[in-house]
A and B are shown apart, each in its own frame.
Chain A
Amino acid sequence: MKVSYLLWAVLVLPAAAGGACLLLRSVRAALLWVVVAVGAASAVAAAAAWSVFTGGPIEAGAGWLYLDALSAYHLLLLHAVFLLSSIYAYSYFRREASFGAAQARRFGALWMGSLAAMALVLVSNNLGIVWVGVEATTLLTAFLICTHVSPSSLEATWKYLIMCSVGVAFAFIGTLLVAASAGSSHLATGDALLWTHLRAVAANLDPATLKMGFIFLLVGYGTKTGLVPMHNWLPDAHSQAPAPVSAVFSGFLLNTALYCILRYVPLVEIATKNSHWALDLLVGFGVLSILIAGAFIVFQHDAKRLLAYHSVEHMGIIALGVGLGGLGTFAAMFHVLNHSLCKSLGFCSAGRLGQMYGTHDIAQMAGSAHDAPVWGRGFLLSLLALIGLAPFAIFMSEFQILKAAADRSAFGIMTLFLAGTGVVFVGALRHAIGAAWDPPVRHPTPEHAGVVDRALVLVPLAILLVLGLWMPESLRLALNQAADVIRGLPQKGGF
């Protein structure tokens, strides 16, 4: 079979499965169908990514679809997060009496549609289609936030829709400007939006136009990434959405938008002769996000909003890592993996605790490590891993980012980074300990955690633990290949 078919399958499979979901009759069937379909899509994505990591980039559809190490790596993560969250969604929604068959059908269709839209962003070579994909994810996921229609979920949905649509519209202006910057490079007109073509002639792009475009892109896609000061929608949407949806939002929707920004970094850097202009902008937004999020984390009392502000912080850390360059780019790619895994676990745990306690207030969940041994401890450990406790993998990636800052002798940035993560560490540790071991305030409904629930907690934690202690050689190579795309280096290919 030709590998280029895999790229089509990555798009068509989830879209078709989402359509088929509308025909199912029961809640159980719809939710199971989602798990099976996401599983099948994951297998296809894994095959495509494997082929990229061993044999170099794949093209399909006359150059409109393209998968290189950066997108293959993100594609793998996308499917990992969706697989985890789909399995979790099955056990989560089955416990909600108000979740009817019609809702389940709609949820399944939108869920698979979102997967298809995010995959479209990752496998498109045409930057215009990338934009179309990002906007499509906004529209498809909007109804997922208000799966349960209530005043506050509608408020969150509206804020999300307007802020992200307007923000992403800015990104389209940026895309147009980037295409216009190729005007002097004698591209065949139809190719002016293809990333591979722009990358090939990057040295001849008009720097002034390109820089202007990059600012629009950073603000536009940055809104959806949740970078401060464009992050206002994020805590509302994350806290109001049902937990499986929050897990996908935080675990990968933000990364999808960040990925779009990363695509443009090598173009700008090459066109401006490695002036670090784009990278410095990323450092600025990154540090700002870490500091502001830190301040909000300390005073947070809602478990899901707490996790949402952690997302802002971690998107900032990833942006900072990429901005530092060198080892930092590698560490940022590693951090993407760690954060997505850890955050999916965090939202899954917080969601189930919320169902058991009937509230997301952290103070009300006191004593959860004892009363809810699986999800309570899952929440505790995910928070500990998130704030960078050794030996979990997030500690390693943050340490590497620190080292990258030291390599560049950027001691001011280092200090700010340490201050921000320090505040987060202390603030979140207090919340985590309180939720786990304080004397109970409420009596939750009993937990009834099955084998699958336990696996959902243990598998991400085990991966985070192992990666914190030892990194497999193949993962190191894959991360380096992905980082090389951002650094603007040629693809070496092959494990």
Chain B
Amino acid sequence: MNELIDALMVLLVLMNLRLLGSSRLAACIRIVATEGIALGLLPLLLVWSQTSASSVEPGLSGRMIFLSVASVLTRGVLFPWLLLKAQRDAKVRREAEPFLSYPLSIIAGVLTLVLSFWLRSRLPPSFASGPPLLVPVALSTILVGLLVVVSRRLAISQVLGYIVMENGIYVLGLALVREIPALVEMGVLLDAFVAVFVMSIVTHHISRQFDHIDVDQMDSLKG
């Protein structure tokens, strides 16, 4: 089963790089949604691989399936729906010129991956358990999300960056803490959903007040 998990991780890395390289908002939103669906399936794969490796570990529980479904629905359906709606409202198709050009962004994305593998080799041994790609890909995804938040100018792109960051943290959580209590996980998912919801409402207000959603141009408050 580990091959499948590794394949999923590689898919995540490729998605991140595609996100860094594309300027069309609708495409970016779909990429992030695909990531979300892939990640929703990850906990199921993890449990499955453990069950086949040792017979001691408990198998799939209803709780896990429920969380997986909730995660796929939120990240794969609700988020893109909210964001595509916000994008239609604001009538923008493309990111303006980001602070970091697209080729440079992709190079930076590759660098985050190098950095993450290096970090992984420096971490204490307690991180060594579990599939080897999980931690570095998680770290790289978090960094890519951060990069998108700081380098893009449009409100929607920044929200996308935030979601990618959350995705990375989600993977990191699976890698570090096997059993996060379901209530906590639900809370985190709910928070992520409300965050995107609130951000898309504020985006709507911004596009109505300013006639654009280029948050870089909002710079009246200083000092």
Contact = CB atoms under 8 A, between A and B. Distances in A.
B206 A154 contact: yes
Nearest to A150: B209
A300 interface: yes
A173 B169 contact: yes
Contact of B184 (A128, A142, A156, A206): A128
B166 A169 contact: yes
Interface string B186-223: 01101100110011001001100110000100111101
Contacts of B195: 135, 138-139, 161, 165
Contact of B181 (A126, A159, A162): A126
Contacts of A132: 184, 187-188, 190-191
The residue in B142, B177, B180 that gathers the most chain A C-beta atoms within 10 A of its C-beta is B177
A126 B180 CA distance: 11
Given A151-B209, A162-B149, A239-B221, A129 B191 contact: no
B165 interface: yes
A151 B212 CA distance: 12
Nearest to B176: A180
B218 A139 contact: no
A154 B209 contact: yes
A189 B178 contact: yes
Interface in A287-310: 296, 299-300, 305
A291 to B, nearest CB: 17
A254 to B, nearest CB: 19
A245 to B, nearest CB: 16
A128 B177 CA distance: 12
B79 interface: no
Nearest to A120: B187
A206 B127 CA distance: 11
A179 B146 contact: no
B124 A158 contact: no
B221 A176 contact: no
- Give the contact-size bracket for chain A: 35 or more
Nearest to B194: A139
Chain A at the B interface: mostly helix, strand, loop or mixed?
helix
A155 B218 CA distance: 6
A172 interface: yes
B98 interface: no
B33 to A, nearest CB: 19
Interface in B129-180: 142, 146, 149, 155, 158, 162, 165-166, 169, 172-173, 176-180
A142 B196 CA distance: 12
Given A129-B184, A305-B223, A179 B177 contact: yes
Interface residues of B, number: 41
B126 A184 contact: yes
B180 A149 contact: no
Contacts of A176: 169, 172-173, 176-177
Nearest to A179: B177
Interface in A203-260: 206, 208-209, 235-236, 239-240
A285 B184 CA distance: 30
A166 B161 CA distance: 9
A128 B184 CA distance: 6
Nearest to B199: A161
A350 interface: no
Contacts of B53: none
Nearest to A181: B126
Nearest to A133: B187
A415 interface: no
Q: Which 9 A-B pairs have the closest CB atoms?
A: A128-B184, A132-B187, A189-B179, A155-B218, A180-B176, A135-B191, A236-B221, A179-B177, A183-B126
Given A142-B198, A189-B178, 18 more contacts: A132-B190, A132-B191, A135-B191, A135-B195, A138-B195, A139-B191, A139-B194, A151-B210, A154-B209, A155-B221, A161-B198, A169-B162, A172-B169, A176-B176, A179-B176, A180-B126, A180-B177, A240-B221
